Amino acid sequence: MIPPVADRFVAGEDAAAVLDHVRRMEASGVKSICNLLGEHYQERDPADEDAAAYRSLLRDMPDSLDACVSVKPSQLGLQVGPSVFEENLASIVAVAEEEGRFVWVDMEDYTTIDTTIDAFEANVADHPEMGLCVQANMKRTDDDLRELVEYPGKLRLVKGAYDPPRELAHQGKAAVNEAYERHLEFLFREYDGTVGVGSHDPAMVERAIELHEEHGTDFEIQMLMGVREDAQVDLAREYEVYQYVPYGSRWLSYFYRRVLERKENALFALRAILS
């Protein structure tokens, strides 16, 4: 069981718990992107096990729920070998297609970007119910987006959670924000698919709404479980909002990341532990 405090950010340890959470969020108008926690596998077995867990989650999702999944390349075996990742991804996409569900592919550190984009492009032409995450902090993203807008599917723009070598990335919050806004403008102008605005930043969400009003491009707002949930519910009254919902037994390192990334989260955890 996920202990109190951590359960603000993680839905539970198993599929039943995540589906309960999805049901609760849907009652408040917010849809869900389910992510089984796991990454950086160096062996094939856990990668195959997680791929199987995603396939059964997709099969078990009740028709009444508007939910999808988001997978991490290194969870599906990218570090074991690109072919392991590609096979596992293809198996999940095939089941998602049978079940009428959407599959997102998260973006991890800079060493994985080429293989991740290649695998997305190889699948999405035949299976357009797929989306890829791109990171605004990476300098290469201008070029990547010019290529990716030619494909169907959805693209989720995030600021970037990893720490790439200095020469490959925009440095400092202001430069990343500037890149994020530039990419939003490009996507809303040039992309026929749906733009996923993966940010808690009110300024970026407002800019996306303005761009939607200007260009009419489809978009959805995506935020993490436990972060600005009131805003998620408010925004969902007018726009499509998805919550990214992590679950699974490997929750501890994810929870630490959430606590350490922001003073308010650390205070929330400390208050709960002391009370």
Max CA distance (Å), the chain: 53
Is the Cβ of residue 15 or residue 204 nearer to ligand FAD in the bound state?
204
Distance separating alpha carbons of residues 69 and 71, to the nearest angstrom: 7
Question: How many Å separate Cα 149 from the centre of its chain?
Answer: 18
Q: Minimal distance in Å, beta carbon 258 to ligand FAD?
A: 8
195: CB partners within 8 A, 6+ apart = 154, 155, 157, 184, 187, 188, 208, 217, 218, 219, 220
DSSP 129: S
Q: Minimal distance in Å, beta carbon 220 to ligand FAD?
A: 10
Does residue number 88 form part of the binding site for ligand FAD (CB under 6 A)? no
Tell me the window of 20-28, 57-65, 85-93, 220-228 that interacts with ligand FAD (CB under 6 A).
220-228
Q: Minimal distance in Å, beta carbon 197 to ligand FAD?
A: 9
Is the Cβ of residue 1 or residue 174 nearer to ligand FAD in the bound state?
174
55, 101, 156, 207: which is the annotated catalytic residue? 156
One residue of 73, 131, 160, 248 binding ligand FAD per CB under 6 A: 160
Does residue number 52 form part of the binding site for ligand FAD (CB under 6 A)? no
In the residue annotation, 106 being an active-site residue is answered as yes
56: CB partners within 8 A, 6+ apart = 15
**51, 76 in Cβ contact below 8 A?**
yes
One residue of 146, 257, 262, 271 binding ligand FAD per CB under 6 A: 262
Identity of the amino acid at 274 = L
Residues 223-242 that bind ligand FAD (CB under 6 A): 223-224, 227-228
Quick note: the x/- pattern for ligand FAD over 196-215, rule CB under 6 A, is: --xxxxx-------------
Number of H helices, E strands in the chain: 10, 8
Tell me the window of 9-17, 49-57, 115-123, 222-230 that interacts with ligand FAD (CB under 6 A).
222-230
Structural tokens at position 144 = 């990547």
Quick note: the x/- pattern for ligand FAD over 177-196, rule CB under 6 A, is: --------------------
Residues 128-157 that bind ligand FAD (CB under 6 A): 133, 135
Distance separating alpha carbons of residues 132 and 95, to the nearest angstrom: 18
What are residue 236's DSSP bridge partners? Answer: none
Does residue number 76 form part of the binding site for ligand FAD (CB under 6 A)? no
**15, 53 in Cβ contact below 8 A?**
yes
Cα-atom radius of gyration of the chain, to the nearest Å?
18
Does residue number 222 form part of the binding site for ligand FAD (CB under 6 A)? yes
Where on the phi/psi map is residue 21: left (φ > 0), alpha (ψ -120 to 50), or beta? alpha
One residue of 65, 94, 149, 161 binding ligand FAD per CB under 6 A: 161
Residue written as tokens 């693209």? 155
Summarize as ranges the residues that interact with ligand FAD (CB under 6 A): 106-107, 133, 135, 158-162, 198-202, 222-224, 227-228, 244, 262, 264-265
The catalytic residue positions are: 106, 156
